Chain A
Amino acid sequence: MILSHPRFAVVGHPNKGKSSIVSALAMDDSVQVSNTPGTTTKRRSFPLSVDGKILYELYDTPGFQRARRVLAWLQKHEVRADKKHEVVRAFIAEHKSDVRFNDEIELLEPIMDGAGIIYVVDGSKPYGAEYEAEMEILRWTGQPSMALINHIDSSDYSQEWKMALGQYFKMVRTFNPMRATFVHHIGILESMSQLKEEWIDDVKESIILFEQYQTQMIERSASLLARLLYDSISMVDKLSIDKDEASKEDKEKIEGKYKDKLRGFEIDTQKRMKSIWKHQHLAIEQDILPFNGLDLFSKESASVFGLTRKELMLMGMTSGAMTGATIDLLFIGHTFFIGGAIGAVVGATGGYFGFDELSDIKILGQNLGKKYLEIGPMKNKNFPYILLGRALYHTSQIANRSHASRDKIDIDRHLDLESVFRDKWLTDDLKNSLEKYHKKFRTSDEVEAEILKEYDLMIKDILRGLINDR
Chain B
Amino acid sequence: MNINSYIDLYQVLEDNPTTIEDNRAFGLKHKSLRGKPQKQLLAWADKYKSKLQKPLISLSFSSYLYGITITLVILAFIFGLFSGMGLLSYDGKEPVNIIYFIAMVVFLPIFTMTLTALSMFRINQTKSILMHISPAFWMEKILGWLPSSIKDDIKEFKINPLLTNWIIIKRSQLVALSFSFGLFVALLGVVVTQDIAFAWSTTIDITPETFHQFLYFISAPWRYLFPSFVPSIELIEHSQYFRLGDRLSPNIISHASSLGEWWRFLAFATLFYAIVLRLLVLVVSHLGLRYAVSTSILKLIGTNRLLREINQPIINTNSTQQEALFVPTHDGYEQTIEKFKEYDYDMIQGLGMRYDELLVISDSIGLSSPKHAIVGGSNSLDEDDKVIDDSSGDILLFVKAWEPPMMDFVDYLADLSINDNVKKVIIMPIGTLEDDYKTTDTYIDIWANKLSLSEDGKVWLKR
- Chain A positions within 8 Å of B, measured between CB atoms, are 13-15, 26-28, 30-32, 34-42, 44-52, 60, 63-69, 72, 100, 103, 122, 125-126, 128-130, 132-133, 155, 209-210, 212-213, 216, 219-220, 223, 278, 305-307, 311, 314-315, 318-319, 322, 325-326, 329-332, 334, 444-446, 448-449
Cβ 8 A contact of A448, one of B24, B124, B327, B434:
B124
- Chain B residues, CB < 8 A from A319: 133
In the bound assembly, the distance between CA atoms of A40 and B315 in angstroms comes to 26
Query: Is A14 touching B321 in the complex (CB atoms < 8 A)?
Result: no
- What are 5 A-B contacts defined by CB distance under 8 Å? A40-B326, A51-B314, A72-B380, A306-B141, A322-B133
Query: Is B327 touching A39 in the complex (CB atoms < 8 A)?
Result: yes
Within 8 A of A (CB), among B408-463: 408, 411, 432-434, 442, 446, 449-450
Cβ 8 A contact of B326, one of A38, A47, A67:
A38
Q: Does B43 contact A (CB under 8 A)?
A: no
Query: Is B319 touching A28 in the complex (CB atoms < 8 A)?
Result: yes
- B301 to A, closest residue via Cβ: A227
Query: Is B132 touching A311 in the complex (CB atoms < 8 A)?
Result: yes
Known contacts: A30-B323, A38-B326, A45-B321. The answer to whether A65 contacts B408 by CB under 8 A is yes
- Chain A residues, CB < 8 A from B111: 322, 325-326, 329
Query: Is B434 touching A155 in the complex (CB atoms < 8 A)?
Result: yes
- Chain A residues, CB < 8 A from B99: 330
Q: How many contacts A-B (CB < 8 Å)?
A: 189
Query: Is B378 touching A32 in the complex (CB atoms < 8 A)?
Result: no
Within 8 A of A (CB), among B286-339: 295, 298-299, 304-305, 308, 312-321, 323-328
CB distance from A11 to the nearest CB of B (A): 14
Interface string of B91-107 (1 = CB under 8 A from A): 00000000110010001
In the bound assembly, the distance between CA atoms of A36 and B406 in angstroms comes to 11
In the bound assembly, the distance between CA atoms of A60 and B127 in angstroms comes to 60
- B317 to A, closest residue via Cβ: A26
In the bound assembly, the distance between CA atoms of A66 and B409 in angstroms comes to 9
- Chain A residues, CB < 8 A from B406: 13-14, 37-38, 63-66
- Chain B residues, CB < 8 A from A132: 378
CB distance from A118 to the nearest CB of B (A): 16
Query: Is B313 touching A31 in the complex (CB atoms < 8 A)?
Result: no
Within 8 A of A (CB), among B151-170: 160-162
Query: Considering the complex of A and B, which 3 residue pairs feature the smallest CB-CB distances, nearest first?
Result: A37-B404, A129-B378, A42-B324
In the bound assembly, the distance between CA atoms of A319 and B138 in angstroms comes to 15
In the bound assembly, the distance between CA atoms of A36 and B442 in angstroms comes to 10
- Chain B positions within 8 Å of A, measured between CB atoms, are 24, 28, 99-100, 103, 107-108, 111, 124-127, 129-130, 132-133, 138, 140-141, 160-162, 202, 204, 206, 214, 295, 298-299, 304-305, 308, 312-321, 323-328, 352-354, 376-381, 400, 402-408, 411, 432-434, 442, 446, 449-450
In the bound assembly, the distance between CA atoms of A212 and B320 in angstroms comes to 22
- B160 to A, closest residue via Cβ: A446
Query: Is B432 touching A126 in the complex (CB atoms < 8 A)?
Result: yes
Query: Is B407 touching A65 in the complex (CB atoms < 8 A)?
Result: yes
Cβ 8 A contact of A329, one of B107, B138, B379, B434:
B107
Cβ 8 A contact of A449, one of B24, B295, B328:
B295
Cβ 8 A contact of A446, one of B124, B132, B378, B408:
B124
In the bound assembly, the distance between CA atoms of A325 and B328 in angstroms comes to 91
- Chain A residues, CB < 8 A from B161: 446
- A152 to B, closest residue via Cβ: B402
- Chain A residues, CB < 8 A from B450: 37
- A37 to B, closest residue via Cβ: B404
CB distance from B388 to the nearest CB of A (A): 14
In the bound assembly, the distance between CA atoms of A314 and B126 in angstroms comes to 15
- Chain B residues, CB < 8 A from A305: 138, 141
Known contacts: A51-B314, A155-B432, A445-B125. The answer to whether A69 contacts B160 by CB under 8 A is no
In the bound assembly, the distance between CA atoms of A306 and B214 in angstroms comes to 43
- Chain B residues, CB < 8 A from A28: 317-319
Q: Quick one: which of A69, A129, A278, A307 has the most chain B CB within 10 A?
A: A129
In the bound assembly, the distance between CA atoms of A357 and B130 in angstroms comes to 23
In the bound assembly, the distance between CA atoms of A445 and B162 in angstroms comes to 9
Query: Is A69 touching B408 in the complex (CB atoms < 8 A)?
Result: yes
Known contacts: A325-B111, A445-B125. The answer to whether A48 contacts B432 by CB under 8 A is no
